[in-house]
Amino acid sequence: MRRAVVRNLTLWTVGGVLVSVGAAAPPSPARSAEPAPAHGPVRTPAKVPVAVGEGGAVASVDPDASAAGIEVLKKGGNAVDAAVATAAALGVTEPYSAGVGGGGYFVHYNARTHEVSTIDGRETAPRTADSGLFLENGKPIPFADAVTSGLGVGTPGTPATWRSALDTWGSKSLRTLLKPAERLARDGFTVDPTFRAQTKSNQARFKDFPATAELFLPHGRLPVVGSTFKNPDLASTYRELGREGVDALYRGKLAKDITRTVNKPPVDPESGRVVRPGALSVRDLAEYGVKRQKPTKASYRGLDVYSMAPSSSGGTTVGEALNILERTDLSEASRTKYLHRYIEASRVAFADRGRWVGDPAFEDVPTKQLLSQRFADSRECLIKDDAVLKSPLAPGDPRHPRACRAGGRAAPTTYEGENTTHLTVADKWGNVVAYTLTIESTGGSGITVPGRGFLLNNELTDFSFAPADPAVHDPNLPGPGKRPRSSIAPTIVLKDGKPVVALGSPGGATIVTTVLQTLTGFVDRGLPLVDAIAAPRASQRNAAQTELEPELWNSRTRKSLEAVGHSFKQNPEIGAATGVQRLPGGKWLAAAEKVRRGGGSAMVVRPDQ
C-alpha cells in the first residue's frame, strides 16, 4: 500500500489500484445484496453500509429501494433511470419521508458533456396563498396545527421531476421504471424497527384520518417488526402513472382526488381533531412545472462543488461555508480547532441564508454574491480561534461586502421537518445523480389520499409564518405559487470535469451542516467516505446552542469547545447521508450510514470478490 497527494487530496493505492480518497486506509469492500425475486416470498436484501465494484452503484437508506435501482442498472438503465426507480421504491418503504405526494431536488452529472444540471421539483403554494397563509386574527396559528392540515399542503413536484429527468437524460420509460416499486407495494416489504418507530410517533394523528389509519394502523395496531407490509393502493397508483404518465396526477382523476382531500381533509368526526382545510385547486396542479436551472458552484481545495440553487438554500449555504473555511488548513488542525471553525462557518452562513435566500421567482436573491470568495473573506474575519460569535448573528451584505461587518438584524432559522430521504446513484458510463426528496415532516401532513396509498406533504410549513422582525424583510413569507425555502443540498464534486464524490442527506436545516461536515471530513480530515458519513455530527444554524450527537456530547472535545465559549444541546441523531465515490478503472464505491435510521444500504452491480 502506498499514499500519494494530488492537489490537497490523499489517494491510497492498493496493488496498483486507487481505491479511496482520504488519509486513512480504505474500507474493506462489501458484497452487494441481490434484488428480491419478482415472485415468491418477500425477501429483504441485507443492509451493508459500503460496497465497491463495477457496473454502477446505488446508495439509499433502504435495501429494497437500493435493490430496485441496481435491478435497473443491471438491465442497461442509466443513473437517471435507476434514480427514478429507487425514488419510487422509497415511496413504498419510506412513505413517511417521500412519495408522489411530495417534492425534491435532483442534481445530475452528464459523463459525456461533463456538465452538472439541476431540477427544482419543490412544492408550490396555491395561487390563492398570500403572506397571511398561516395567520388567524393577525397572529400565526400553532405550528402543530399547520403541520396536520390542508393549509400546509403544496402542489407535489416529485412526479414532474421524474418526467423532466427521464425526458432529458433517461433511457427507459416511466412505466418500466415503476415496475419494481409497484411489485414491492403489491407483494410487500419487511417491517423494520425504524418503520415501526416512525409509525408509533405518528400514531396519535394517523388514527384520526380513516384512510391513513386503515393503511398504516391496520386493525388499530402498529405494524409488527418482521411482518410484511403491503400497499395495494399505491401499487395501483404506480400502475396508473406508468400507463397514463404523470399527467394523471396533475390533470386526471388523481388530481381531483388530491384537491378534494386537501380542501376537505377526511378526518374522523369523532376524533375531535380540528383540521384546517387548504385551498389547492386543479388549476394549481395543472399549471405546476419544475424549474431547470444551473447549479451553484464553489471551488474548494482544487475541487468544484456543485449543488442546488434557490429555492433551496442548500447550495448557497454549503458553498459560502466552504469558501469561509478555504482560508484554514483543516487537515492539520486539532479536532477542537476543526470543529470550532466548522461550527462558526456554519453559524455565519446561516445568518446570511436567513436574510437573503427565498424563491428567486419572487425575491431578489444575490446567489452569485453569496458564493463569492470576496464576500466569504469579509465574513471569515469575524471568526476567532479563542472566542465564539454570539447568536443570532446579524447577516452581512453580499452585494456590498465590508470586512468583519454585519448589517441589520438577525433572522432566526425557521424550523424544517427532518424526515426527508436521499439517494445517490452512478452508472457504468460515469453519469451521477444526487437526489433528495421529501414530504417534509415525518409522515408529512398525516393525510392519506383515500384509495391512493400515499401521504400528502406539509411543505408549506417551511415558509415563515410571520416576519421574525417586522422591520426586516423576510424573503421566505408565503405567496401565490411560491416555493418555500429549503435546505436540501444534493451535491456532486468534480475534479478536472470528472466526478470525485457525490452525496446528500435528509434532516431539514441540518442537511446543510451534514453535507458540509461530511465533505470536510472526507476532503480535509482524510476519512474514507463511509467513515465521513458515520462521523459524529455537530449542527450550528445561527442559534445560541450547537446541537451535538451523543458521541461528541460525551467526548473530551466538547469540554475543549466549551472552554472556548461554545454552548451545546444534545440531538440523538443528525441526518442520514448517502454517497458514491468514483474509483479508477470504472469502479464505484457506494456508502451509506452505519447506524443512523437503522443503517443505510450501499450496493453495486458487480461487487469486488
pLDDT number for residue 34: 33
pLDDT band, residue 79 (cuts 50/70/90): very high
CB atoms within 10 A of CB 198: 19
pLDDT band at 28 (very low <50, low <70, confident <90, very high): very low
Q: Would you say residue 609 has pLDDT above 80?
A: no
pLDDT category at 43 given cuts 50, 70, 90 is confident
Question: What was the pLDDT predicted at 468?
Answer: 78
Q: What is the pLDDT of residue 27?
A: 34
What was the pLDDT predicted at 38? Answer: 38
3-class secondary structure per residue, 533-572: HHCCCEECCCCCCEEECHHHHCCHHHHHHHHHCCCEEECC
State mean pLDDT over 333-360: 97
Q: Strand runs (DSSP E) across 373-484, as ranges?
A: 421-427, 432-438
What is the mean pLDDT of the segment spanning 183-193? 97
Domain ranges of the chain: 2-292+414-607
Q: Average pLDDT, stretch 115-119?
A: 98
89-104 pLDDT, tens digit each: 999 999 999 999 999 9
First to last CA, the chain: 19
Look up the pTM and report it: 0.93
Q: Confirm or reject CATH 3.60.20.40 for domain 2-292+414-607, answering yes or no.
A: yes
> Given pLDDT bands bounded at 50, 70 and 90, which one contains residue 271?
very high
Q: Say what the pLDDT of residue 26 is.
A: 34
Long-range (24+ apart) CB contacts under 8 A made by 565-571 are 565/387, 565/388, 566/340, 566/343, 566/388, 569/545, 571/510, 571/539, 571/547
Tens-digit pLDDT profile for residues 5-25: 333 343 433 223 333 333 333
Residue 412's pLDDT is 62
- Please give the C-alpha separations between residue 90 and each of 9, 17, 304, in angstroms, as whole numbers: 34, 34, 30
Residue 555 has a pLDDT of: 97
pLDDT value at position 409?
74
Mean pLDDT of 167-187: 98
How many Å is the Cα radius of gyration of the chain?
23
**pLDDT at residue 578 greater than cutoff 50:** yes
Cβ 122 vs Cβ 462: under 8 Å: no
**pLDDT, position 12:** 35
Distances (CA, A) of 102 to 97, 122, 130, 157, 197: 9, 8, 21, 6, 21
Residues shown for the chain? 609
Mean pLDDT of 24-31: 33
Active site positions, annotated: 420
pLDDT in tens, 55-76: 999 999 999 999 999 999 999 9
Q: How many Å apart are CA 282 and CA 531, to the nearest integer?
A: 47
Residue 404 has pLDDT above 70, yes or no: yes
- Residue-wise pLDDT tens digits, 462-506: 999 998 788 888 999 999 999 999 999 999 999 999 999 999 999
Measure the CA–CA gap between 567 and 382, rounded to whole angstroms.
18
What is the average pLDDT value for the chain, to the nearest integer?
A: 92
**Residue keyed to cell 471569515:** 380
Average pLDDT on 430-458 reads 97
